Amino acid sequence: MSRGSGKGLSLKDKLDGNELDLSLCDLNEVPVRELAALPKATILDLSCNNLISLPSDFCSLMHLVKLDLSKNRLQQLPLDFGRLVNLQHLDLLNNRLVTLPVSFAQLKNLKWLDLKDNPLDPVLAKVAGDCLDEKQCKQAAVKVLQHMKAIQSEQDRQRQRKLQAEREMEKKREAEQRAKEAQERELRKREKAEEKERRRREYDAQKAAKQEMEKKTKKETVHTRKPASSSRPPQPPRHKPSWSRSVLRVLLFVLFCILCTLAACKLTELQHQPLCVSVNTLYEDVVAALQNHKALQNMLQHNSQQ
């Protein structure tokens, strides 16, 4: 295996007690798997190599107590670097770091820190200060931890505010959705009631039209057909007698009486009675008078021939 990747190195040969020195090995990768197999190596020196970044599984080396990463080309640390909770001494001198991960605040056992010769953010650089002696490096560890904890707290508060805002927004959306559903239910209910009322009016109109038709039909048939409950045969309608008909009946009756009297006086033995003599004389005078009219004369001749 190549030296540049750290593979092919005999880590056990470089282990001295609990110290493992991998400095000046021209490494561009960290042999994390081999290091994880040496939990006794609590002091690790990776200084003066070509490391640009650390793999994320580097943070699984939680047995590390002292770590020297100085004089590399590190541009950033893994986001979960704070998992190295047993770390007490950290040397990051002369790298290319600008910021530190927020999880750095979880290194509660960190007692010594060197961040010199890094292009740090001005605020972080001011907090870290110089690390020219033991005291300043210890103060740097304390101040940086406090600074990162403040950043972490602020981010936590921002997350909480964001979460609260999202919850409120979700509640608002739910309330609006409930209001919308209630409005839709009310609209459907109103439409259903209107449809029911429309059908009821149509039913009433049809019923009224049917009753009117039945009533009209009944009026038209009342004079031609009796109800089914009657067993008597239909009788012709009776007409009220009028005044002219009464007069006509009287005249016919008088004429009938005159004819009967005339027949009795002409054809019976009563013709010699004084009343019949007067009747016969009157009859002959009337006949004589009527013979002057040609039409009547012809009629009388025709009757006499018969």
pTM recorded for the entire structure: 0.56
C-alpha to C-alpha distance for 93 and 136, rounded to whole angstroms: 14
Query: How confident is the model at residue 275, as a pLDDT?
Result: 74
C-alpha to C-alpha distance for 135 and 143, rounded to whole angstroms: 12
Q: For 68-125, how does the pLDDT look when each residue is reduced to its tens digit (9 = 90+)?
A: 999 999 999 999 999 999 999 999 999 999 999 999 999 999 999 999 999 999 999 9
Low-confidence ranges of the chain (pLDDT < 50): 1-4, 6-8, 228-230
Query: How confident is the model at residue 226, as a pLDDT?
Result: 55
Query: How confident is the model at residue 77, as a pLDDT?
Result: 96
Query: How confident is the model at residue 301, as a pLDDT?
Result: 66
Backbone angles phi, psi at 129, to 5 degrees: 65, -160
Q: For 31-57, how does the pLDDT look when each residue is reduced to its tens digit (9 = 90+)?
A: 999 999 999 999 999 999 999 999 999
